Amino acid sequence: MNQALHRAPANPGSPTSAGRRLHPLPVRIVHWVNAAAMLVMITSGWGIYDDDVIIDGLNFSGFWRLGDWAAWSLNWHFAGMWVLVVNGLAYLVYGFETGRLRERLLPIRLSKLVKTVIDTLHGEFKFRSEHLRWALR
């Protein structure tokens, strides 16, 4: 049997070894609400499309559509859109309140961005271990 599968993690402080989740509960909830809202938007979009087909022969069966006709599909579509808007605002509020937005999504400083662009234009592509450590935090 492969011994690599049974070895302890190389980094004892890694999230998986400590039993810690990669993302906190509010972020996971927002993610899955977004996933559900996107399914509503996609399936209702198919219902809207089927009301006025652009490509002959490309129709979606009633099983895959949300809404019996275009008006109902539009209602579902707008409802999904508002769920995405409210959910996005909730994520932004959570991100600002906890500092997660600055720490995880906006860790780049303008001076580092300018230096990276200049280095890249000069053909200097650097990947250091600290980049990997930051990505795995």
**pLDDT 10s digits, 61-81:** 888 888 888 899 999 999 999
For the cut 60, the answer to whether the pLDDT of residue 98 exceeds it is: yes
pTM of the model: 0.62
For the cut 90, the answer to whether the pLDDT of residue 28 exceeds it is: yes
Give the tokens for residue 15. 């999230």
For the cut 70, the answer to whether the pLDDT of residue 108 exceeds it is: yes
pLDDT tier for residue 118 given thresholds of 50, 70 and 90? confident
Closest-CA residue to 84 (of 114, 41, 122): 41
Integer CA distances (angstroms), 83 to 24, 39, 78, in order: 21, 12, 9
Dist CA 22 CA 35 (whole Å): 18
Dist CA 55 CA 61 (whole Å): 15
Give the tokens for residue 20. 């810690």
Higher-scoring residue by pLDDT: 75, 19: 75
Q: pLDDT tens digit string along 29-46?
A: 999 999 999 999 999 998
Closest-CA residue to 62 (of 79, 44, 77): 44
DSSP summary character for residue 8: P
